[in-house]
Amino acid sequence: MGILDWISQSAKKLKDVESQIGNDKNDVYEIYQRNLALEREIAQRTEELRLANQTLLTLEQVWDMMNSSRPLSSVLETIVSSLYGEFGYVYSFIAQKEYNEHGYYYSLKTYLENEFAIKFTDLSSDSIFDLKLYPKPDGVIENAIEKKEISYYVNIEDFIRENIANYNEERLQQFLSETTVKTIIIFPITVQNQFTGFLSVFSPRKELKDDELSFLNLFSRQIELAVTIANLFETVKKQAVTDHLTNLFNRRFFEDALHREATRSLRTKQPFCLIGLDLDHLKRINDTYGHSMGDKAIATIAQIMTKTSRSVDIPSRYGGEEFFIILPGIDAKGGLVAAERLRSTIEQAQIEGLNEGITASLGVACFIEQTTNIDELFEMCDKAMYASKQKGRNQVSLADADNITSWQDVAIDAFVDILTKHRIPFNKTIAKDLVEKLQIKQNDSSGASTQEMLFSIVDSISKSYFPLYQDGSTKNKVTLAVLIAKRMNLAKAEIDKLKIAMLLYDIGNTMMPKEILKKAAPLDNKEKQEIQKHPILGAQEILKPIGTISSIIPIIEHHHENWDGSGYPSNKKGEEIPITSQIILIVDSYFAMISYRPYRKAYTVDEAIEEIKSNANKKYSPELTQAFCYAIDEFRKM
């Protein structure tokens, strides 16, 4: 082969190799491109799987709530919080349709409590509770509701201008310059084919993916189911938290709600008002027209309270003719306006069969603005309500934060003195611990209950000399005594003295021989004579040296005197006996009867009531016996 042929063949072979390399290069590039596409698809599927898993977890959380007995408000709060936390939405709320004299509007039933909420609310109102949406008839919200389908706002300015009245233009421009919201999504909510409101979601993204919309649509359907189930739970639970006559919340619910609202208020730094209301001259109505007319007057008050309250307010019947309303987000000035509106509406009410009008005396106190202690707030409101009565009834009084010495403070000082100076035989280590707790509680501004601490201490002292004493008895005794006192129309100052006396009236028993107190058989005459010394021991030897409670001494000294003069220690009778002493006697008798003793079984409640009735005009005055019967009926319903 010649050199030229070799060169020609070599060039051909080189060309074939280059061609093969080029083909291989294309194959490698194609494989590379395929790998990139595969990686992108894997990433996309992974994200879809993450979102699907997130969706399932969120929906599972909603489902778990729906199968719990949590109240509707708690369920909805968790729902809007999960949207914020899991999916990064800026804000969300659930609005409910309501009506006033101007027509219908939407109020925020549940909302996220975050920085956006504060700025959003600041556009037109002082409080989130006062924010009202007034949608245009042909606007996005109304179209969504009418068509029962999802609708959008593509910018938040349109949402504000279309739905919020009286917004501040300067604040709006500042708000728009700072917000990250790009889209607002409206989801109508219907329960049992009835429209109830809508879910609104504020998104930082301008475009929403199909899978995100599918989730939100499914989520809104779950809300409807959650509302349905939660409403069923609330219907069942309503009987336990509402007053049977008025359908207002009962005392137990009110006290729990007061603690919850105080906690929320301290967290958000927003005040709330407490309005106390006492129906004037109920006894006169009962005596003149009968108790059925008195019940009708009480029911009328309740209807007015319900009608004039906002959806977030908590109107409650505390007992008898006494009511309270918690007004979240309202300061003292707003509380006075609300109280005056309520007073005026009551004054104008007409009751069929009642030939006279009804009026009420009201008191107002404000949490945070006047105090940050629940017991003190209640005390201030109660005193303001009684001040309205003393000034002639049918008026509103604002609590005086600078003029309050609560009965709890007086009681705490008394127990600190008793325990630190060892005025009673009591374990010194336990006494020291109780004193420290009392002093901490007296300086506590967290809203915690001082009363509960006092009740617990009396229970502890009582059990130290009488092991059969039941925890919780002190609270029950004080509650019943106050109900009777109010039936007897006692002044606020006298009721405060009674509360302190109820904590201290049996303190003399700590000085009694233990073998007598723990005796399993009935006492003989000598032992009875020994026991009958305890009112004098308690009043004169233990309590008299404590100067701050000098006005309590006569109450305790005579709490075993009988109406007919057969009691002890002074054989006083009739009106000679302080009315507060008489109340202690009847309350103490009742609880002694329904308690087990080694030498007899406990009376039933009905047996104890009949026994007390049989002693009317003997141990107890007829008027006191009647007041007890009304009060015990009320007490049993609490």
Q: Identify the CATH number of the domain in which residue 260 sits.
A: 3.30.70.270
* Together in a domain, 1 and 140: no
Q: What are phi and psi of 533, to 5 degrees?
A: -80, -15
Instruction: Tell whether 65 is covered by a domain.
Output: no
Q: In the predicted model, what is the mean pLDDT of residues 406-420?
A: 87
Higher pLDDT, 575 or 538: 575
Instruction: Tell whether 63 is covered by a domain.
Output: no
Name the nearest CA neighbour of 360 among 403, 333, 320. 320
Is the pLDDT at 582 greater than 50? The verdict is yes
Structural domains in the chain (count): 4
* DSSP H or E stretch at residue 98: strand 91-100
Higher pLDDT, 74 or 141: 141
Higher pLDDT, 223 or 621: 621
Q: In the predicted model, what is the mean pLDDT of residues 528-554?
A: 84
* Together in a domain, 468 and 589: yes
* Together in a domain, 213 and 195: yes
* Together in a domain, 77 and 199: yes
Is the pLDDT at 472 greater than 90? The verdict is no
Instruction: Tell whether 246 is covered by a domain.
Output: no
Ranges 130-134, 198-202, 444-448, 575-579: which has the least confidence: 444-448
Q: What is the predicted pLDDT for the residue at 138?
A: 86
* Together in a domain, 439 and 520: yes
Q: 322-328 and 360-367 as β-strands: parallel, antiparallel, unpaired?
A: unpaired
Q: Which of 190, 220, 241 is the last residue of a domain?
A: 241
* Together in a domain, 297 and 215: no
Q: What is the predicted pLDDT for the residue at 362?
A: 97
Q: Which of 241, 261, 281 is the last residue of a domain?
A: 241
Instruction: Tell whether 64 is covered by a domain.
Output: no
Instruction: Tell whether 66 is covered by a domain.
Output: no
The verdict on pTM exceeding 0.75 is no
Is the pLDDT at 59 greater than 50? The verdict is no
Coil, helix or strand for 364? Answer: strand
Higher pLDDT, 231 or 530: 530
* Together in a domain, 473 and 552: yes
CATH number at residue 556: 1.10.3210.10
Q: How confident is the model at residue 74 (pLDDT cuts 50, 70, 90)?
A: low
Is the pLDDT at 52 greater than 60? The verdict is no
Q: What is the predicted pLDDT for the residue at 125?
A: 67
Q: In the predicted model, what is the mean pLDDT of residues 445-453?
A: 66
Instruction: Tell whether 422 is covered by a domain.
Output: yes
* Together in a domain, 219 and 355: no
User: CB-side exposure of 619: number of CA atoms within 13 Å?
Assistant: 17
Q: What is the predicted pLDDT for the residue at 57?
A: 47
* Together in a domain, 331 and 277: yes
* Together in a domain, 325 and 459: no
Instruction: Tell whether 67 is covered by a domain.
Output: no
Compute the mean pLDDT over every residue in the chain, rounded to the nearest whole number.
82
Quote the domain boundaries for residue 36.
1-58
- Residue 39: burial class (beta carbons within 10 Å; 0-12, 13-18, 19+): exposed
Q: How confident is the model at residue 68 (pLDDT cuts 50, 70, 90)?
A: very low
Q: What is the predicted pLDDT for the residue at 65?
A: 47
Tokens of residue 238, six digits: 């309503």
Is the pLDDT at 70 greater than 60? The verdict is no
Calpha distance 72→75 (Å, rounded) = 5
Calpha distance 557→550 (Å, rounded) = 11
pLDDT tens digit sequence for 115-158 = 888 888 888 865 666 778 888 888 899 888 888 888 989 989 99
pLDDT tens digit sequence for 29-39 = 566 566 666 66
* Together in a domain, 39 and 105: no
Is the pLDDT at 111 greater than 60? The verdict is yes
Is the pLDDT at 249 greater than 50? The verdict is yes
Q: How confident is the model at residue 226 (pLDDT cuts 50, 70, 90)?
A: low
pLDDT tens digit sequence for 258-312 = 999 999 999 888 999 999 999 999 888 988 999 899 999 999 999 999 999 988 8
Instruction: Tell whether 339 is covered by a domain.
Output: yes
Contact status, residue 373 vs residue 444, Cβ threshold 8 Å: yes
pLDDT tens digit sequence for 371-406 = 988 888 998 999 899 999 989 999 999 998 666 667
Q: Which of 211, 241, 271 is the last residue of a domain?
A: 241
pLDDT tens digit sequence for 329-372 = 999 999 999 999 999 999 999 998 888 899 999 999 999 999 98
Higher pLDDT, 280 or 76: 280
Calpha distance 184→159 (Å, rounded) = 8
Percent of the chain with pLDDT over 90: 34
* Together in a domain, 96 and 42: no
